[in-house]
Structure 1
């Protein structure tokens, strides 16, 4: 499955995109992962697009830093795999911001074979709300990229609203 629309990128950019798509190919083809497109995440950005954004940026940063970019890409894609509209559905066991990482990990663990880094990324991407300190550098990258992307999406949405 092709994530990015065909564009005239340079050969280095095409290689990065191809390698990224190989890292997540088994995940992105899953019907439940695809279903996250039906949930709004921040502003007007759906959950799948948000997760791809976080995943790809984390992949690029980890690759540049010589870290485990495959785990960053995969964990980043599944970090918000909670499978409900958090604007409507309220978790029974606490506030969404505190509980969704555990739900996302439970959902991902049922469907995919995950390594320890991927699990850590998913369950601790909301640190310090999750209390447990991230164990891996890749987890810190994903949680910082997630915060960056979230702010970008919210601010972009608010600015678009102001222009209307």
Structure 2
């Protein structure tokens, strides 16, 4: 249901971000295991829509999707500890928000999603419902990627422009 209902919106948002920002550069950076930042952000967008849909939450899907796609828009290889990324988990939300603000106009919800998605590692909690959803979806997707659990892949498969990935 999520793929049919929100897949086209997610794909359109990916296309807009790829055209109007550096979003495609996220394909160059690995996130967890063999998953790129690009793939991770798309999975988080789908998972966020799935959570909101399953719980029948009244959310702003446009901000939810855009915030999920941009939540890790930090644009560097955080695995390279020689470049000062030792505390990546604490500082990348601010860098992602800075990059997103440089490239795009953001709503307050989108800004909060990006800035607060690492709660509780970062101490200030999310403010909006959409921010909480992305925060939870991000943790779920990260665990799946780190431990190579295929829960997400078993539920959803989608053709992403230029590449087949499991979502």
Regarding TM over 0.5, the answer is yes
Give, in angstroms, the shift of residue 27 of structure 1: 1.2
Q: Structure 2: 5+ residue runs without aligned partners?
A: 150-167
For these two proteins, the number of residue pairs brought into alignment is: 147
TM-score normalised over the length of structure 2: 0.79
Task: Check conservation: 1:62, 1:68, Cα contact below 8 A.
Answer: no
Could you say which residue in structure 1 is the equivalent of 2:155?
none
Q: Distance in 1 between matches of 2:74 and 2:7?
A: 26
Which segments of structure 1 move beyond 4 Å, counting only runs of 4 or more?
A: 89-94
Between 35-44 and 83-92, the greater mean CA deviation after superposition: 83-92
For residue 41 of structure 1, give the secondary structure of its aligned residue in structure 2: strand
Between 16-25 and 67-76, the greater mean CA deviation after superposition: 16-25
The one of 77, 82, 86 aligned to 2:74: 82
For residue 22 of structure 2, give the secondary structure of its aligned residue in structure 1: helix
Give, in angstroms, the shift of residue 61 of structure 1: 2.7
Could you say which residue in structure 2 is the equivalent of 1:142?
134
Give, in angstroms, the shift of residue 94 of structure 1: 6.4
The one of 10, 14, 18 aligned to 1:28: 18
Task: Check conservation: 2:78, 2:85, Cα contact below 8 A.
Answer: no
Q: Which of structures 1 and 2 has the bigger CA Rg? A: 1
Between 129-138 and 146-155, the greater mean CA deviation after superposition: 129-138
For residue 120 of structure 1, give the secondary structure of its aligned residue in structure 2: helix
Q: Distance in 1 between matches of 2:119 and 2:83?
A: 19
Q: Would you tell me which structure has more strand in proportion to its own residues? A: 2
Give, in angstroms, the shift of residue 13 of structure 1: 4.2
Task: Check conservation: 1:120, 1:136, Cα contact below 8 A.
Answer: yes
The C-alpha deviation readout for 1:78-109, integer Å capped at 9, x for no partner, is: 01000000001566586100000000000001
The C-alpha deviation readout for 1:19-78, integer Å capped at 9, x for no partner, is: 332344321334621111111100000110000100122133335412111111000000
Question: Equivalent residues in 2 for 1:1-164 (5 A)?
Answer: 13-30=3-20, 32-63=22-53, 64-89=56-81, 92=84, 95-156=87-148
TM-score normalised over the length of structure 1: 0.80
